[in-house]
Amino acid sequence: MVTAVQTTDLCKSFGMTKALVGVDLAIEEGTVLGLLGPNGAGKTTIVRILATLLLPDSGQAVVGGVDVVAEPHRVRARIGLTGQETAVDHNLTGRENLQYIGQLCHLERKEARRRTDKLLEQFDLTEAGDRAVKTYSGGMRRRLDIAMSLIAEPAVVFLDEPTVGLDPRGRLAMWDFIAELTSGGTTILLTTQYLEEADKLADRIVVMGYGSVITEGTPNELKQRMGAKRIEVELYDKADASTVIDALTPFSIPGLLVQHHDRTVTVPVEEGARLLPQMVRAIDAADVSLRDVGVRQSTLDDVFLILTDQEVEKSPGIES
């Protein structure tokens, strides 16, 4: 496979704050890399550097074989970008916004019109295409913003939380369109707070925590690594949580934290069905009454919570 996007030992600080600390990423051509992490993890900083909007302090970033610092203009000709905030002109119509960006990308008028019509149809904006954008709903503006980043048919697209503000139907339509883009060979870097979205779309996932990469792998690899199963214990009294955690920690996968939220304690395990009777006996020996207990499959939400909780544990100066 050809590497379409790569960063090597990428570092960036803002004053005393280290936004990126030696980040290495690689995205294969025609695939989706999902970039996950809590707020402040450095996801948007990476996107801005790759899109030539921000200079790194050190390290290297390459898009399509072109260094983003040495030749930013060549990089811009290869990429599309959708940021967290929409970048549409509210006084123009949707059609005019698209054609204007097409002209900035040096498309011929006929080709710009063709691509505009196609994108308006793909993003369900044909009927609204000749209305001023200031009359659009928030979701419609978001769809138009993403369409504008695709007018030049870029080889690499950076989507920074693209489905924020979309309703469930709009989000599903966006997922279908992203899948269509990658099937056509487009490379995508996707940052998202919707873990279901990353699980559905990403070929590989990188989890970041406070400026550095915590782990990476396919969605299934990460779920297996963090424990394919969860034992979930619901308590009558949340005051019993610490006692239950002490009783069940020996059953958890080594190195992984037992999670606790209100009256629920969750334990990552390798073999849930086999361990369940032993764990119930351990809780009974601790003289704690249970409301419910069961085994469930791990999700990316579990992976995210475990990994980011571990980062907070290692970074006492950072509030969770």
Both tokens of 261, joined, read 């939220």
pLDDT at res. 255:
67
pLDDT at res. 319:
34
Do the domain assignments include residue 313? no
Sign of CA dihedral 217, 12, 45, 32: negative
First to last CA, the chain: 39
Do the domain assignments include residue 282? yes
Q: What is the CATH number of the domain that holds 98?
A: 3.40.50.300
Do the domain assignments include residue 303? no
Are 181 and 231 found together in one domain? no
What range defines the domain where residue 22 resides? 3-216
Order of strands, edge to edge, in the sheet holding 264-269? 259-261, 264-269, 229-235, 290-297
Are 154 and 234 found together in one domain? no
**Eight-class DSSP state of 89:** -
pLDDT digits (tens, 9 = 90+) for 27-68: 999 999 999 988 888 999 999 999 999 999 999 999 999 999
The structural domain count of the chain equals 2
Do the domain assignments include residue 316? no
Q: Which of 193, 216, 239 is the last residue of a domain?
A: 216
Residue 70, pLDDT above cutoff 80:
yes
pLDDT digits (tens, 9 = 90+) for 86-133: 889 999 999 999 999 999 999 999 999 999 999 999 888 999 999 999
Do the domain assignments include residue 308? no
Are 209 and 129 found together in one domain? yes
Burial class (CB in 10 A: 0-12, 13-18, 19+), 212: middle
